[in-house]
Amino acid sequence: MGNCLKRSSSDDISLLRGNENVNEGHTDPPPPYTEAPGPVYYPSPSISRPVNQLTEEEQIKIAKRMGLIQHLPTGIYDGCKINRECVICMVEFVVGDNVRYLPCMHIYHVHCIDDWLMRIMKLAEISSVIHPIVYTTSTGFVRQ
């Protein structure tokens, strides 16, 4: 990994010293206003667009996909010896990590599997992954 810290310069040091020896006539213009980029969604595996560029139909499909993914159970990694690594990001789980379980009982970091399912899978494929699970608000997740 690289060093992501900015190198100090004489200007940075002068800021710490109370702006001594700073050219008071020199000021940089403020940066131009740029709108923060919104989330990017994947209406299909090979297409990505910001949310404000999606059609209403694409937004509905994505909302359904997100709803189905949210029906998959989540938990906290407890240090079990069976699953030690998220195979999506290839990082070992740490006790306390938020994980999501698939019906096959594989576990992944929540953000990894959610992002992967949103990018790769079509609505029909997600439905087939979730089909073995019936969600009821009173009892939680029940396997069929």
**Beta-bridge partners for 101:** 107
Residue 52 lies in a domain: yes
Residue 25 lies in a domain: no
What confidence tens digit (pLDDT) does each residue in 36-89 have?
Answer: 566 777 766 667 778 788 888 888 888 888 888 888 999 999 888 788 899 999
The tokens 């139909």 sit on which residue?
57
Asked whether residue 129 carries a pLDDT value surpassing 80, the answer given is no
0.85 cut: is pTM over it? Answer: no
Q: How many domains does the chain have?
A: 1
Residue 106 lies in a domain: yes
**CATH number of the domain within which 48 lies:** 3.30.40.10
Asked whether residue 106 carries a pLDDT value surpassing 80, the answer given is yes
Residue 8 lies in a domain: no
Residue 13 lies in a domain: no
- State the pairing for strand pair 98-101/107-109: antiparallel
- State the pairing for strand pair 85-86/107-109: unpaired
Residue 26 lies in a domain: no
Question: 55: domain range?
Answer: 33-143
Residue 115 lies in a domain: yes
Show the tokens assigned to 65. Answer: 């996909």
Asked whether residue 137 carries a pLDDT value surpassing 70, the answer given is no
pLDDT, greater one: 65 or 135:
65
pLDDT given for residue 17 in this prediction: 58
Residue 12 lies in a domain: no
